[in-house]
Amino acid sequence: MNPTGNLIDGRALAEQIHRETAAEITALATRGVQPGLAFVRVGDDPASQVYVGMKERQCARLGVRSQTHVLPAATSEAELLALIARLNDEPAFHGILVQAPLPAHLNSARVYAAVSPAKDVDGFHPVNMGKLMLGDPSGFVPCTPAGVHELLLRSGVALAGADVVVLGRGNIVGKPLAALLLQKAPQADATVTVCHSRTRDLAAHCRRADILVAAMGVAEFVKADMVKPGAVVVDVGVNRVPDPAAKSGYRLVGDVDFAGVQPRAGLITPNPGGVGPMTIAMLLRNTVRAARLLTG
Ligand SMILES: NC(=O)c1ccc[n+]([C@@H]2O[C@H](COP(=O)([O-])OP(=O)(O)OC[C@H]3O[C@@H](n4cnc5c(N)ncnc54)[C@H](OP(=O)(O)O)[C@@H]3O)[C@@H](O)[C@H]2O)c1
């Protein structure tokens, strides 16, 4: 047992990655390059404000230049696309992140496709998604799936031949994570099952899993009796549940009933403190890589 019991400490692993990224930033500085990341936020979604704020703070801490464009909720698609086009041509910014979710009148697919694939550090452009599907490592992998993958590797979890069950087939987490773990590659080679709202007997799939990843957005959905004893459980979900005792009136919980599942799991991510910090670490790593590739 490690000192934290069966917990995977996402914060500590993220710090490890930040240290590696900081060393790369120092190396870039010797040739006069400072990585730059431009954030675009549309509307006043409170969670998006929090997420962009956390990412900006990490940029400042590591010495990545950042700039945030906040556009009103009523921004037209043409205005947003014009800003993205300007940022695509702006040499000081090597990465562009358009924070999801966008207001409903904007077509997210068209917006993500407008970001230059070379600056698409979120990995949502169809070219980067396609490269991930094909196993071409020259693309950018979306940050949350990349963070989950890295978290498993750095925790010493064997992926080759493992039965992985991913709950959720979203474009941001479930689908790209399945593609990543399925790669014919030494650090992947898993057998992946993806479950969703139309899956028959989802609990039976979960009970077979050596590695169970919950990315649905349903508070505390995964209960102890859905988990094989000794399985690795990764909780990606972020859900607000009402909590009259909290100042904000709510608290954040994951997709896993942590108290019930922890005693049964071999390894488990806390939530918060698991996947979230890894997502930000991968964003900064992608940004530094974009800076290296664009200036090399
Ligand atoms: N920690 C982080 O850094 C991070 C980053 C991104 C997202 N997240 C969190 O991860 C979660 C998933 O995000 P997402 O963007 O992938 O969501 P999404 O696109 O809405 O996908 C949710 C998926 O879950 C499935 N699902 C929902 N309820 C279900 C149920 N009762 N039974 C079975 N399947 C169900 C949906 O099935 P259908 O396809 O059939 O509708 C869908 O495939 C959210 O809580 C989000 O906040 C966390």
Residue ranges per domain, the chain? 32-116, 143-276
Residues in contact with ligand 1 (CB, 6 Å cut-off): 144, 168-170, 172-174, 196-198, 202, 215-218, 236-239, 275-276, 279
What's the chain's length in residues? 296
18's enclosing H/E stretch is helix 10-29
Distance 237 CA to ligand 1 centre (A): 7
124's enclosing H/E stretch is none
Edge-to-edge strands, sheet with 95-98: 65-71, 36-42, 95-98
Ligand 1 atom nearest 174 alpha carbon: 16
Look at residue 145 and tell me whether its pLDDT is greater than 70: yes
3-state secondary structure of 193: strand
Look at residue 2 and tell me whether its pLDDT is greater than 70: no
191's enclosing H/E stretch is strand 191-195
Q: What is the pLDDT of residue 4?
A: 60
Distance 170 CA to ligand 1 centre (A): 6
255 is catalytic: no
Look at residue 51 and tell me whether its pLDDT is greater than 90: yes
Q: What is the pLDDT of residue 1?
A: 43
Catalytic entry in 9, 120, 122, 257: 122
Report CA torsion sign: 257, 149, 109, 167: negative
99 is catalytic: yes
Ligand 1 atom nearest 255 alpha carbon: 45
Q: What is the pLDDT of residue 108?
A: 97
Q: How confident is the model at residue 5 (pLDDT cuts 50, 70, 90)?
A: confident
Decide if 32-116 and 143-276 have a common fold.
Answer: yes
What is the rounded distance in angstroms from the CA atom of residue 237 to the CA atom of residue 220? 9
Look at residue 28 and tell me whether its pLDDT is greater than 70: yes
Which residue puts its alpha carbon closest to atom 42 of ligand 1?
A: 168
Ligand 1 atom nearest 217 alpha carbon: 45
What is the rounded distance in angstroms from the CA atom of residue 278 to the CA atom of residue 12? 9
Q: List, in sequence order, every residue forming a beta bridge with 164; answer none if it has no partner.
A: 192, 211
Among the listed residues 25, 47, 19, the one whose alpha carbon sits nearest the alpha carbon of residue 287: 25
Report CA torsion sign: 11, 186, 284, 79: negative
Find the mean pLDDT for residues 103-127.
98
Look at residue 78 and tell me whether its pLDDT is greater than 60: yes
Q: What is the pLDDT of residue 211?
A: 99
Q: What is the pLDDT of residue 205?
A: 98
Residue range 244-285, pLDDT digits in tens = 999 999 999 999 999 999 999 999 999 999 999 999 999 999
What is the rounded distance in angstroms from the CA atom of residue 78 to the CA atom of residue 165? 40
Which CATH superfamily does the domain covering 32-116 fall into? Leucine Dehydrogenase, chain A, domain 1 (3.40.50.10860)
58 is catalytic: no
Which residue puts its alpha carbon closest to atom 23 of ligand 1?
A: 168
Architecture of domain 143-276: 3-Layer(aba) Sandwich (3.40)
Distance 214 CA to ligand 1 centre (A): 8
Find the mean pLDDT for residues 73-84.
98
